[in-house]
Amino acid sequence: MPSLILRTIAGLVFLIAMLGLALFGSAGTPDYWRAWLYLAVFASCIVLITVYLLFKDRRLLESRLNVGPAAERQRSQQLIQGLASMFFLLVYIVAGLDHRFGWTHVAPVLSVISDLLVVLGLLIVFLVFRENTYTSAIIEVADQQRVVSTGPYAVVRHPMYSGALLMMVFTPLAVGSWASVPFVLPLVLVIGARLLAEEKFLASRLPGYEDYRRRVRYRLIPWIW
């Protein structure tokens, strides 16, 4: 238990510090209220989700700590995770550079609305964790794992990616940058590639998944894909 708590705290501190460094380091100043607000919103949501898992689903929390390219077992997924991490950070770095050089302007009210949509994206991720204890950070099928088709899984087959995508689409505007919006696109493509690989894996390894795919039509975005 103490080890899990320490590793969880270390992971949270590393993530927030990395985002802060990407934003304020590239901005070259701490005078960046949108970045402060975004980090406060993001960190609060992540902490609340983590505390919930700590008390309700430590097994899932443990599996979520095993994350990143090195945790993947397939070379293709290691590459995808590496690209995802790179594009993820680029969104924040370009936003910080935008703030430094004043390339674009985002209305303050739009930034605040975008922060609320970031919260919505993370709420979807939380609902996924609450519904499915087997939401591992890597592509795998655990012992006794079953198909989950309730909650957000009744709407799309990969709701965690949907929540993460919603969060990332509105992150640039939340931190006040139109210039970083295009850098979300390669991240979306990487998520799509991982999603397709995961579907292929689950269809071959998880009993009942094929039937679930027939019943729930959309993978990521309702009525679109």
pLDDT in tens, 114-133: 999 999 999 999 999 999 88
Number of domains in the chain: 1
**Is 87 part of any domain?**
yes
Largest CA distance in the chain: 53
Is-contact 106 33, C-beta < 8 A?
Answer: no
**Is 16 part of any domain?**
yes
**Is 19 part of any domain?**
yes
CATH of the domain at 95: 1.20.120.1630
pLDDT in tens, 38-61: 999 999 999 999 999 999 988 888
**Is 71 part of any domain?**
yes
Note down the domain range covering 175: 2-215
**Is 58 part of any domain?**
yes
Phi, psi (degrees; rounded to nearest 5) at 166: -60, -45
Q: Where residue 78 falls among pLDDT bands split at 50, 70, 90?
A: confident
**Is 101 part of any domain?**
yes
**Is 152 part of any domain?**
yes
Sign of the torsion angle spanned by Cα atoms 129, 176, 225, 194: negative
pLDDT value of residue 82: 84
| Residue 91, pLDDT above cutoff 90 | yes
How far apart (Å, rounded) are the C-alpha atoms in residues 56 and 54? Answer: 6
Q: Where residue 169 falls among pLDDT bands split at 50, 70, 90?
A: very high
pTM of the model: 0.90
Please count the other Cβ atoms lying within 10 Å of the Cβ belonging to residue 180. Answer: 24
**Is 22 part of any domain?**
yes
